[in-house]
Structures are given as C-alpha cells and as structure tokens.
C-alpha cells in the first residue's frame, strides 16, 4: 500500500500539438508505454459525487488499484499493488478486492466496497519526460468513441503554481485548453454508447 499526494496540471492537445511535442523532445518509439484504466464507482456514482476516482490500472507486467480522493491541494492517491492475474479477475468480475488500503479508505468515505462496479475503460499510450518543473506526460488515449491527446505536468507542492505550467505552454506555443480528467472523459464516452 502507498499513499501520495498528486498535484498536476493538464491541457487538451490537438493532434498537431501532440506531434509537435513528441518532435520537440525527440521522443523515440521505445519510450512509450501503454496502460489501461478500468474505472469503478457505485451504480449511483457516489464516488463521483465526492470528487473521487477509483481505477485498476494494468501495465505490461503489473497492476494497481488506486483511489484518488480530494485534498486541499491536489488529490491523495491510495494504492494497492495487484498482480496482473488478480487485476484481470477483478475486472472480469466487475468488482475490486475487498481487503487492503483502498477498501478501508472507501469505508472511511462511507462507501461499501462491495457496491462498486466497472463502468468504463480507457487505454493510454504515454511517454513521461522529467523536466525541471516536474514530470511531463504526453498522452494519446482511446475509450469507445473517444480518441484524444493530452499533456499533464505532475509537480510537487513547491512547484504547485499553475503559472509555471501556463508559462511552459506559452513557450511551446500551445494554447491552454482545460481538460477533464480521464475518468470523466471515459464515462462520457461510455454514456454515448448506451
């Protein structure tokens, strides 16, 4: 189990801006990795109502269950490491594991972990680039009818001012376009198919 504070700034990208950034940072194909997020909530979206997000993220060789809950600055990420086999079993069953830090945190939020179920999935092809201001992530994502591009900058509390992010965008000639988080975009893409 781990807990960490996540502070990030993000903007939607056009396809042209996405390719511009890849060229600017001389990104090679071997730097990319793919992650698939399966999102969970109660049938009446109690987590969303509390501005929380719950996902199982599957990587090439591992997986993790993460609950994001709001803090005064950023989001607190509570994570349980999973094997790929346990993650696949949870996703197939449509439920999360009932023990661990995430289940305890859900109970503390007044949410029964047995009630959460799968509602959406999103796959992201990502490259991460450490820069002076923090960790830059350049993403291309897919979910149902969704195909989009996004830039995220994960920072620490010392560098949490959005001004630095906006200055980088100006420097790279990228217009700031507010971006909903991935869980919201995946939900909206799933809602379109119902």
pLDDT digits (tens, 9 = 90+) for 94-136: 999 999 999 999 999 999 999 999 999 999 999 999 999 999 9
More confident residue, 10 or 180: 10
> How would you classify the pairing of strands 134-143 and 146-155?
antiparallel
Query: 190 or 140: which carries more pLDDT confidence?
Result: 140
Instruction: Please give the C-alpha separations between residue 69 and each of 36, 75, 109, 151, 162, in angstroms, as whole numbers.
Output: 20, 5, 9, 22, 20
Residue 80 neighbours by CB under 8 Å, 6+ apart: 1, 64, 65, 66, 97, 100, 101, 102
Give me the mean pLDDT over the 184-189 stretch.
84
Residue 1, pLDDT > 70, answer: no
- For 110: left if phi > 0, alpha if psi spans -120 to 50, otherwise beta; the answer is left
CA distance 24 to 173: 12
pLDDT at 10 over 70: yes
pLDDT tier, 161 (very low <50, low <70, confident <90, very high otherwise): confident
Decide if 60 contacts 34 (C-beta within 8 A). yes
Label residue 5 by pLDDT band (50, 70, 90).
Answer: confident
CB contact at 8 A, 76 and 97:
no
Averaged pLDDT of the chain: 92
The radius of gyration of the chain's CA atoms, rounded to the nearest angstrom, is 17
pLDDT of 4 reads: 86
Residue 116: the pLDDT is 96
- Among 188, 193, 182, smallest CA distance to 53 is for 182
Q: Which residue has the higher pLDDT, 114 or 159?
A: 114
pLDDT digits (tens, 9 = 90+) for 55-109: 999 988 899 999 999 988 889 999 999 999 999 999 999 999 999 999 999 999 9
Domain boundaries, the chain: 2-192
Assigned CATH class of 2-192? mainly beta
Predicted confidence band of residue 192 (pLDDT cuts 50, 70, 90): low
Q: How far apart are CA 63 and CA 84, in angstroms?
A: 5
């Amino acid at each position: 189990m781990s807990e960490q504070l996540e502070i990030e700034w993000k903007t939607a990208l056009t396809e042209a801006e996405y390719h511009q950034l890849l060229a600017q940072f001389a990104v090679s194909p071997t730097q990319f990795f793919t992650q698939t997020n399966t999102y969970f909530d109660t049938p009446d979206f109690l987590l969303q109502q509390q501005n929380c997000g719950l996902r199982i993220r599957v990587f090439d060789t591992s997986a993790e269950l993460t609950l994001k809950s709001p803090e005064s600055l950023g989001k607190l990420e509570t994570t349980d490491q999973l094997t790929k086999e346990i993650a696949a079993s949870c996703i197939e069953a449509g439920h999360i594991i009932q023990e661990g830090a995430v289940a305890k945190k859900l109970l503390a939020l007044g949410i029964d972990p047995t009630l959460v179920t799968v509602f959406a999935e999103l796959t992201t092809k990502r490259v991460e680039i450490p820069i002076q201001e923090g960790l830059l992530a350049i993403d291309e994502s897919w979910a149902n009818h969704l195909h989009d591009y996004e830039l995220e900058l994960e920072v620490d509390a010392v560098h949490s001012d959005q001004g630095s992010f906006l200055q980088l965008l100006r420097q790279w000639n990228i217009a700031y376009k507010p971006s909903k988080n991935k869980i919201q975009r995946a939900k909206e893409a799933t809602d379109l198919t119902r």
